C-alpha cells in the first residue's frame, strides 16, 4: 500500500511538472508575436518593411488610376460621332477635354485627323494610346524589381546572420552557449521568411496590375477601331 501510494504520488508530481512545462511553453509561444520576430531579424527587416510599404503604395495608387481611366460615359462614342457628323469638331474637342481621361485624349487625337484616311487616323490614335499605356505602366517596373530583389535581400540577411552566429561562436572559445548563437540564427531564418513573403506579395501584385493594363489596352483598341469605322473616310 505504501509503495502504491509512493508511485501514485510520484506519477502525480511528474504529471504536474509536465503540465507546468507545457503551460510555460504555451505562454512563451503566445508572447512571440510577429513584431518580436521582425525585431530579431535585424536591420534587413527594416529594408524589407520599406519595400513592402512601397509595394502596397504602388498597388493601390495604380488601382485608383486604372479605375479613373475606365470611368467614361457609356454614350461617349455616340456623342462624338454625332458631333463629327454634324461638323461640330470644336464641340467634340471640348467634350473630350471635359472628360479628361486617357480614352478621351486618344479620341481627341483622332478628331485632329478627321478628313485623313482611316490608316492615318488609326496610326495617330495608336501612337496616342501608346503614350497613355506608358503612363499607366508607371511603377510596374519598380514592383517587378521588388518581387525579384526582396527574396535576395532576405537571403542576404540569412548569410549575415549565420556569419554573426559563427563569429560569436569563435569568440566564445570553449564557453559556447546556445544563447550566443540564437540572435544570429533568428536573423538568418526570419529574414529569409520576410524576404519570401514580400517577394511573393509583390509578384502577385505585379501580375495583377499587368493583367489590368492589358484589359485597358484592349479597351483602348476597341475604341480606336470603333472611332475609325464610324468617322474615318
Instruction: Return the pLDDT at 204.
Output: 95
Q: What pLDDT, on the 0 to 100 scale, is given for residue 4?
A: 44
| For residue 105, pLDDT beyond 50 | yes
Q: Give the predicted TM-score (pTM) of the model.
A: 0.73
Mean pLDDT, rounded, for 153-179: 71
Query: Considering only 149-158, 175-184, 194-203, which range has the smallest mean pLDDT?
Result: 175-184
pLDDT at res. 11: 40
pLDDT number for residue 39: 59
Q: What is the largest CA-CA distance in the chain?
A: 114
Q: Span 47-70, mean pLDDT?
A: 90
Q: Which H or E element spans position 20?
A: helix 2-31
* Overall average pLDDT of the 74-92 stretch: 80
Residue written as grid cell 509578384? 203
Name the most confidently modeled range: 40-49, 70-79, 170-179, 207-216: 207-216
Amino acid at each position: 500500500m505504501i509503495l502504491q501510494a509512493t508511485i501514485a504520488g510520484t506519477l502525480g508530481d511528474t504529471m504536474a511538472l509536465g503540465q507546468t512545462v507545457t503551460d510555460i511553453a504555451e505562454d512563451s509561444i503566445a508572447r512571440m508575436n510577429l513584431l518580436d520576430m521582425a525585431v530579431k531579424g535585424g536591420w534587413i527587416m527594416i529594408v524589407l518593411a520599406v519595400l513592402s510599404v512601397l509595394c502596397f503604395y504602388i498597388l493601390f495608387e495604380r488601382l485608383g488610376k486604372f479605375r479613373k481611366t475606365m470611368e467614361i460615359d457609356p454614350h461617349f462614342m455616340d456623342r462624338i460621332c454625332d458631333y463629327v457628323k454634324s461638323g461640330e469638331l470644336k464641340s467634340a474637342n471640348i467634350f473630350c477635354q471635359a472628360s479628361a481621361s486617357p480614352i478621351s485624349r486618344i479620341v481627341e487625337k483622332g478628331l485632329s485627323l478627321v478628313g485623313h484616311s482611316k490608316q492615318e487616323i488609326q496610326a495617330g490614335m495608336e501612337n496616342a494610346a501608346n503614350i497613355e499605356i506608358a503612363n499607366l505602366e508607371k511603377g510596374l517596373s519598380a514592383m517587378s524589381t521588388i518581387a525579384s530583389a526582396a527574396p535576395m535581400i532576405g537571403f542576404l540577411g540569412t548569410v549575415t546572420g549565420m556569419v554573426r552566429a559563427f563569429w560569436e561562436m569563435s569568440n566564445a572559445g570553449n564557453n559556447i552557449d546556445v544563447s550566443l548563437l540564437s540572435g544570429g540564427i533568428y536573423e538568418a531564418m526570419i529574414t529569409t521568411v520576410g524576404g519570401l513573403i514580400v517577394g511573393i506579395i509583390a509578384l502577385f501584385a505585379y501580375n495583377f496590375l499587368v493583367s489590368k493594363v492589358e484589359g485597358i489596352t484592349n479597351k483602348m483598341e476597341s475604341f480606336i477601331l470603333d472611332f475609325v469605322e464610324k468617322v474615318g473616310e
